[in-house]
Structure 1
């Protein structure tokens, strides 16, 4: 049985879209960045911690999937979910007119076997006016999104190109998850 250790509706939608049967459980962990922690180390650590926390309360044969996504601005700042509308506007100004990075850490845990990986996608966003940013914030869409935008929503009109996995930007790199699941299942049958 696959268990998604996430409250993200986008991750649930993506797994369902890909044909996976799964249940969900939420892990309450501290998501603070540690001093000196780089973005890949950060998201893979959180993905692993989420998987471990949920695995502890699941049947032993469950496969637990943890994931965490961050947006890294062109200046290197990790952007999580905005604290308020002003923070969302600040983030969008950082991303507008440049290419930024979206990184998702993925962890799979079954029994004593664990796998962790990260997917990196480069996203180019066109220049935005203050009026466009204000109008977008009024939609409410940026409020619960890392980097304050949803590529699958209204903000899609601002993204002329990506290099890498589109689904990573939405919140879960499906091809990576599938490869990891196939790997963990192959090890079970040996």
Structure 2
């Protein structure tokens, strides 16, 4: 049994689908204090390390803890969580017809400590205007790095993929399962 220290319903669903027994503790972390003026793979690792440190300062009774975070980048430009519909549209326009990567960092703390950063890169076709409008109105983009939902909106526009789908959804299950 592991403890997922995350508020993410997507990460919880990934663990459930993978058959990994877990309990989830909602845990919010303010990422705004972490500098984005670095490479995406370093940024996401810094965020997950800071989450772990903050959580462990306040909580000492848990075992087998899993921390994770993801970021979307077009080139070296990190796309955070959109604050409003206009920002979400700008992020989606960067992805449209472009190559983008999702970087996911995870730290598992148990009898051992596993630290992993994984990357999945997608090439997208140009997004349809009507689809964009409907997606923005759905508010499904809220709380998602880069306003991206690879399992829904972005899925139909994928022309190529390099890496694990689960990484793009918030956890590299292949690596996590190998260590559990």
Please say whether Structure 1 and Structure 2 have the same fold, judged by a TM-score greater than 0.5. Answer: yes
Question: What is the CA–CA distance in structure 1 between the aligned matches of 2:145 and 2:37, rounded to whole Å?
Answer: 20
> Which stretch of structure 1 is more off in the superposition, 152-161 or 25-34?
25-34
- The TM-score, its normalising length taken from structure 1, stands at 0.84
Structure 1 residues 128 and 88 mapped into 2: Cα distance closer, same or farther (>3 Å)? Answer: same
Query: Following TM superposition, by how much is the alpha carbon of 1:50 offset from its aligned partner in structure 2, in angstroms?
Result: 2.2
Structure 1 residues 77 and 8 mapped into 2: Cα distance closer, same or farther (>3 Å)? Answer: same
Q: Secondary structure at the match of 1:127?
A: coil
1:70 aligns with 2:74: no
- The TM-score, its normalising length taken from structure 2, stands at 0.89
Query: Following TM superposition, by how much is the alpha carbon of 1:58 offset from its aligned partner in structure 2, in angstroms?
Result: 4.4
1:23 aligns with 2:16: no
Query: Following TM superposition, by how much is the alpha carbon of 1:73 offset from its aligned partner in structure 2, in angstroms?
Result: 1.1
What is the correspondence of 1:92-103 to structure 2 with a 5 Å cutoff?
92-103=92-103
Query: Following TM superposition, by how much is the alpha carbon of 1:51 offset from its aligned partner in structure 2, in angstroms?
Result: 2.8
Q: 1:25, 1:54 within 8 Å by CA — same for their partners in 2?
A: no
Query: Following TM superposition, by how much is the alpha carbon of 1:96 offset from its aligned partner in structure 2, in angstroms?
Result: 0.5
What RMSD, in angstroms, separates the aligned Cα atoms of the two structures?
1.9
Specify the structure having the higher radius of gyration (Cα).
1
What is the correspondence of 1:2-81 to structure 2 with a 5 Å cutoff?
2-32=2-32, 33-34=34-35, 36-56=37-57, 57-59=59-61, 62-74=63-75, 76-81=76-81
Structure 1 residues 36 and 128 mapped into 2: Cα distance closer, same or farther (>3 Å)? Answer: closer
Query: Following TM superposition, by how much is the alpha carbon of 1:30 offset from its aligned partner in structure 2, in angstroms?
Result: 3.1
Q: 2:7, 2:28 within 8 Å by CA — same for their partners in 1?
A: no
Residue equivalent to 2:115: 116
Unpaired runs of 5+ residues, structure 2, are: none
